[in-house]
Amino acid sequence: MGLRKRHVAVGLAAMALLFAGTQSARAAPANQVLGTWRMVKAEVEQDGITRPAYGTQPRGMLVFTPDMHFVEVLTDASVPRFASQARGQGTDAENRAAMAANIGFFGTYTVDAQGEFSGNRVQGATFPNWVGSARTRQDLSLVVEGDRMVEHFRRPEGARVYIEWERVRTAQ
């Protein structure tokens, strides 16, 4: 093959690779849940009665990382402080109130071919019974519309939980 034909062949091969890479990058939709989310609203509905899921002052953060890990912390800011400054020295009532009103957990998550949340697996939690549990889209729904995300799931006793999240934007 002549030098000119070889340059043309190499050039065409490079363009084909570049085009293929561009096409595959375009074909993969963005991970819709990726980023940091702040809880805006949380409600639990049971037996036709709706009430705040995390008290009158709900606070929460949910972070989805690019390497497919997540961490979620949901709190009720109205839970009174412990009398002791040592976390391990709370009274039974203090510990019961804190455990009932707050939850933190972390693990891994998956998205489908459209970049939509498809499930998670809990690796650690303040409620030990969740460790090792996996939830699919059938158990937990996270739907993103712009900078809003709505979460729905059902607790084991049948109560339905609704949480609304807002994407946290970084300052430029």
pLDDT in tens, 93-140: 999 999 999 999 999 999 999 999 999 999 999 999 999 999 999 999
Which pTM value belongs to this model?
0.80
Q: Is 130 exposed, middle or buried (CB count within 10 Å of its CB: 0-12, 13-18, 19+)?
A: middle
pLDDT digits (tens, 9 = 90+) for 31-89: 999 999 999 999 999 999 999 999 888 999 999 999 999 999 999 999 999 999 898 89
- Report the alpha-carbon distance of residue 137 to residue 122 in Å, rounded: 15
3-state DSSP helix/strand/coil % of the chain, to nearest 5: 25, 40, 35
